[in-house]
Amino acid sequence: MIKAGIVGGTGYTGVELLRLLAAHPDVELSVITSRGEKGVQVSQMFPNLRGRVELAFVEPDDAVLKGCDVVFFATPNGTAMKSVPALLEAGVKVIDLAADFRLRDAAEWEAWYGMPHVCPDLLREAVYGLPEVNRELIRSARLAANPGCYPTAVQLGFLPLLEAGIVDSQSLIADVKSGVSGAGRKAEVGILLCEAGDNFKAYNVPAHRHLPEIRQGLTAVVGTPVELVFTPHLVPMIRGIHATLYATLKNSDVDLQALFEQRYASEPFVDVLPEKSHPETRSVRGSNQCRLAVHRPHNGKTVVVLSVIDNLVKGAAGQAVQNMNLMFGLPENAGLEGIALLP
């Protein structure tokens, strides 16, 4: 059994990790940390885990975490990087669900996150944990940078087009909507029910922290810097991301449906829907699936890709478990075969 630890187990991604790992056939939950909830039973805070997780929250302690085989960091940005070097030295594999190791350039990371990076040498070693792109690198990694939720939905939607070289990489548009859980489990006026409910708004239009991550991933595919307009929105639902992606065709003589179906034919967690489909966020709620549909309105030059994921699963905890499975040589879908919840 793989002994797993979670640092920061009280947020939404933390409890989602607990839910998935508690049912994983090859994992033993060893330690869950939280400074603020030290001594509290996990099932007391999260009653859905009653009878499945018998642990209590403990204070973060590197000595205890070094006894794990893998440690997940479901913590704010800037937290994991303080502990990762010591854990790696002790032979522990690490999966960071925050942004500490997503960007490869330390100066760019510091510019976007407003703090110095304490272990910039590890940025080059960390493997960006998008299995549909870096599967083989993830298998041999000891440090995986779990992608953000927006970047997962956007990159999976654009990848087939950019890999085939059939769209203009200088005019990409990502119009993306997220449920409120993407903001995290915290007290903040903008995400209170009376503020976010029955409301719809864009935010961080001039500069969102996920933009450099998305650009980095897409640039790696094309080989030259891409130009991307990324506009995030907050919608009054708990879970889910819906990305509407636009690109301009350079070559109109292409079967877009076949292109997407062939690209993702062997991917266990990407589902390309039939022509003229419109994927819904509820179709992936609670699952590790990304569902895609590709359209070419009026048979013109614009491609429209629709991409939906659950921001807490394929956009966070589920993808982290998918990465763990690869890092430990397990079946990639182990513990992740749950069907989406309807209604």
Q: How far, in Å, are 102, 281, 292 from residue 278 at the CA level?
A: 30, 10, 8
Contact yes or no for 269/241 (Cβ under 8 A): no
Would you list the DSSP string of 44-110? HH-GGGTTT---BEE---HHHHTTSSEEEE---TTSHHHHHHHHHHTT-EEEE-SSTTT-S-HHHHH
Encode 132-150: b = buried (16+ Cβ within 10 Å), e = exposed.
bbbbeebbebbbbbbbbbb
The helix or strand, by DSSP H or E, that contains position 266, with its residue range, turns out to be none
Contact yes or no for 311/160 (Cβ under 8 A): no
| Catalytic residue (choose from 68, 119, 149, 290) | 149
Q: Is residue 149 among the annotated active site residues?
A: yes
Q: Quick one: CA torsion of 156, 161, 164, 169, rounded to 10 degrees?
A: -110
Catalytically active residues, by annotation: 149
